[in-house]
Amino acid sequence: MAQNGERVDILIIGGSLAGAAAAFPLARQGVRVRILEKARFPRPKICGEFLSPESFPVLARMGVLDSLRESGAETIERFEAYSPSGSSVKGELPAPVLSISRDVLDHTVLRAAEGAGAAVAFGETVMSFSGSLSRGFEVQTSKRLHHSRFLIGAWGRFSPLDPRIRNGSLEEIPALFGFKKHLEGESSFLQGRVLLHVFDRGYLGLSRIENGLVNLAALTVPDVAREAHHDFDRLLARLRSESAVLDRQLEKLRPLPGPVLVSEPVHLGPRGALAGDVLLAGDAAGVLDPYTGAGMSAALVTGEAAGARLARHLSGEIPRETLPGLWASEYDRVMKNRFLFSRLFRPVFVSRFAARLLHPLASPLAALAVRLTRVGPL
């Protein structure tokens, strides 16, 4: 028979970037926090692994920014986007970003939360939750029933816990799919730059991460993702045959052994920062287009902010009745325009005509897209 979990002040569903960043300010204040995480870290994750600088102050407060820089992360200052015909858009990023694997990043950030005093239950999948701020919350996992006064949802972009998945409203948004693979070989041509290749109904990014490895991550329509799943080598060969530039760049690189990771459906756009009285953060509250390279920063910034709002409530600064509404309006204030601009520039990256939009004259537009989708502090 499953044991009941000890009652804590705060339960957090999901121990990736948003969950760990939410736990940190609470645990440091001495609040009893437990993170419920279905996976075991370190683990790979589908992502471009391009970490934009809006998250650096959060990582610095968590005490991990320097160690991430020292772990061999690549510093990136330039972007280049190519169409299959070879026309390109190139530019400087508004500020340097870090390129680092999710295996290292997520594990480091979660360890910082643990170091601050948060308890982490790995291998516990949350099956359901119920409750409210006035009654407290019950969370049923694959192993036990947990109780808490507050609940934060940081379960990412696709979870049956998401009320919009349960009521079917996400199905109205066309789903895209991501895939990713690490490559090894001659990667010096990627020093300091991220490369984006737009192809028919999708795009892929190439950047160097720690140990000279290269991350190849893509977002595309279901047919192409299926092709990646069934025969990654064939898909890559097809994309290389369509783009001489990509062909040259991949010439001296080869996939590491192991399967290609293909994501669950990716529904882009805002979802809302609340599920009843549960504060949501990161992708659980809304998914920015991956081309912005701002999803991880949004997760860290909104995660930390959700934790900090709860900490302020616990120290008597914010009354319970106003907490959910305050969180929803603060989240909206910071993220609304990011979603708007991320949506606005989407056709440049995912459409049948995307490749034609990539023209050297579009460089200032691309630079503007990068700037407008940055996430400000919350």
Ligand X SMILES: Cc1cc2nc3c(=O)[nH]c(=O)nc-3n(C[C@H](O)[C@H](O)[C@H](O)COP(=O)(O)OP(=O)(O)OC[C@H]3O[C@@H](n4cnc5c(N)ncnc54)[C@H](O)[C@@H]3O)c2cc1C
Helices 323-344 and 363-372, packing angle to 10 deg: 170
Q: Residue 155 Cβ, how far from ligand X at the closest point, in Å?
A: 4
279 in contact with ligand X (CB under 6 A): no
According to CB under 6 A, which one of 148, 243, 263, 373 is a site residue for ligand X?
Answer: 263
Strands 145-153 and 8-13: parallel
Among the listed residues 172, 36, 174, 51, the one whose alpha carbon sits nearest the alpha carbon of residue 101: 51
Q: Among residues 16 and 148, whose Cβ is nearest to ligand X? A: 16
Over the window 36 to 65, marking each residue x when it contacts ligand X by CB under 6 A and - when it does not, the resulting string is xxxx------xxxxx---------------
Q: Among residues 65 and 318, whose Cβ is nearest to ligand X? A: 65
At a CB cut-off of 8 Å and minimum separation 6, what does 60 contact?
none
> CA 160 to CA 313: how far, in whole Å?
29
282 in contact with ligand X (CB under 6 A): yes
Q: Among residues 13 and 116, whose Cβ is nearest to ligand X? A: 13
307 in contact with ligand X (CB under 6 A): no
Q: CA torsion sign, 67 to 91 to 358 to 247?
A: negative
290 in contact with ligand X (CB under 6 A): yes
Over the window 213 to 242, marking each residue x when it contacts ligand X by CB under 6 A and - when it does not, the resulting string is ----x-x-----------------------
13 in contact with ligand X (CB under 6 A): yes
- Residue pair 195/99 in contact by the 8 Å Cβ criterion: no
Stretch that binds ligand X, among 32-40, 75-83, 230-238, 239-247 (CB under 6 A): 32-40
270 in contact with ligand X (CB under 6 A): no
> CA 91 to CA 70: how far, in whole Å?
26
Over the window 120 to 149, marking each residue x when it contacts ligand X by CB under 6 A and - when it does not, the resulting string is -----xx-----------------------
Containing 21, the helix (H) or strand (E) segment is helix 17-28
> CA 155 to CA 161: how far, in whole Å?
8
3 state DSSP class of 218: strand
Strands 126-132 and 50-51: unpaired
Amino acid identity for residue 4 in this structure: N
According to CB under 6 A, which one of 16, 83, 87, 88 is a site residue for ligand X?
Answer: 16
Over the window 355 to 374, marking each residue x when it contacts ligand X by CB under 6 A and - when it does not, the resulting string is --------------------
Q: Among residues 149 and 179, whose Cβ is nearest to ligand X? A: 179
- Residue pair 194/209 in contact by the 8 Å Cβ criterion: no
DSSP string, 125-139: -EEEEEEETTTEEEE
> CA 80 to CA 88: how far, in whole Å?
7
**Which structure tokens are listed for 15?**
């121990």
84 in contact with ligand X (CB under 6 A): no
According to CB under 6 A, which one of 15, 84, 131, 324 is a site residue for ligand X?
Answer: 15
148 to 207, contacts with ligand X by CB under 6 A? 154-157, 159, 161, 178
According to CB under 6 A, which one of 283, 301, 308, 335 is a site residue for ligand X?
Answer: 283
266 in contact with ligand X (CB under 6 A): yes
- Residue pair 22/154 in contact by the 8 Å Cβ criterion: yes
306 in contact with ligand X (CB under 6 A): no
- Interaction site with ligand X (CB under 6 A): 13-19, 36-39, 46-50, 125-126, 154-157, 159, 161, 178, 217, 219, 263, 266, 282-284, 290, 293-297, 299
